[in-house]
């Protein structure tokens, strides 16, 4: 992994034209280095990232359009346009779009670890159980469903 390169990632584009489809959500990498990884996202209504933990990364989400329903360390919360969601490493979090409209957001993690490689591996993988299995190889631990 190299240092962060200077430049501009044009609006609506991923670095090198990369676009990932991850369980119906669209992710586009906009910055990537050893110290950080940022990606634009589009969450259609009804899509979500189930509760999980990044043991070795802090994660941040700037909501650009729409509203997320969240579970942060067991507590329900909401975040709308302009809000910044802070997800410290080791804290359980889940992100849900129950708003009735698409949600656009900028996500970033620090340090990058293997998240870019994880997204490359789970691009177009249709089986959530396989996504969870692969994620465990990259220090992302999905939690069992409640109940």
Q: What pLDDT, in 10s, does the model give residues 96-109?
A: 999 999 999 999 99
| Per-residue confidence band for 146, with pLDDT thresholds at 50, 70 and 90 | low
pTM exceeds cut of 0.85: yes
Domain ranges in the chain are: 30-113
Q: Is the pLDDT reported for residue 51 higher than 70?
A: yes
Average pLDDT across the chain, whole number: 94
Give pairs for 133-140: CB < 8 Å, separation 24+: 135/52, 138/113, 138/114, 139/54, 139/55, 139/56, 139/57, 139/113, 139/114, 140/52, 140/53, 140/54, 140/115
Q: Please give the Cα distance from 44 to 102 (Å, whole number).
A: 4
Percentage of the residues of the chain whose pLDDT score is greater than 90: 90
Q: Which CATH superfamily is domain 30-113 in?
A: Jelly Rolls (2.60.120.10)
């Amino acid at each position: 992994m190299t240092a962060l390169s200077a430049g501009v990632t044009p609006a609506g584009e991923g670095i090198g034209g990369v676009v990932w489809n991850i369980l119906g959500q669209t992710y586009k990498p906009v910055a990537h280095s050893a110290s950080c990884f940022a990606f634009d996202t589009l969450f259609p209504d009804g899509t979500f990232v189930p509760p999980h933990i990044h043991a070795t990364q802090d994660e941040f989400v700037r909501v650009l359009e729409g509203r997320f329903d969240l579970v942060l360390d067991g507590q329900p919360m909401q975040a709308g346009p302009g809000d910044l969601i802070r997800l410290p490493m080791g804290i359980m979090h889940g992100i849900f779009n129950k708003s009735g409209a698409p949600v656009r957001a900028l996500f970033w993690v620090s340090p990058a670890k293997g998240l870019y490689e994880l997204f490359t591996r789970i691009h177009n993988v249709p089986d959530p159980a396989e996504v969870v299995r692969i994620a465990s190889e990259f220090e992302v631990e999905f939690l069992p469903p409640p109940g």
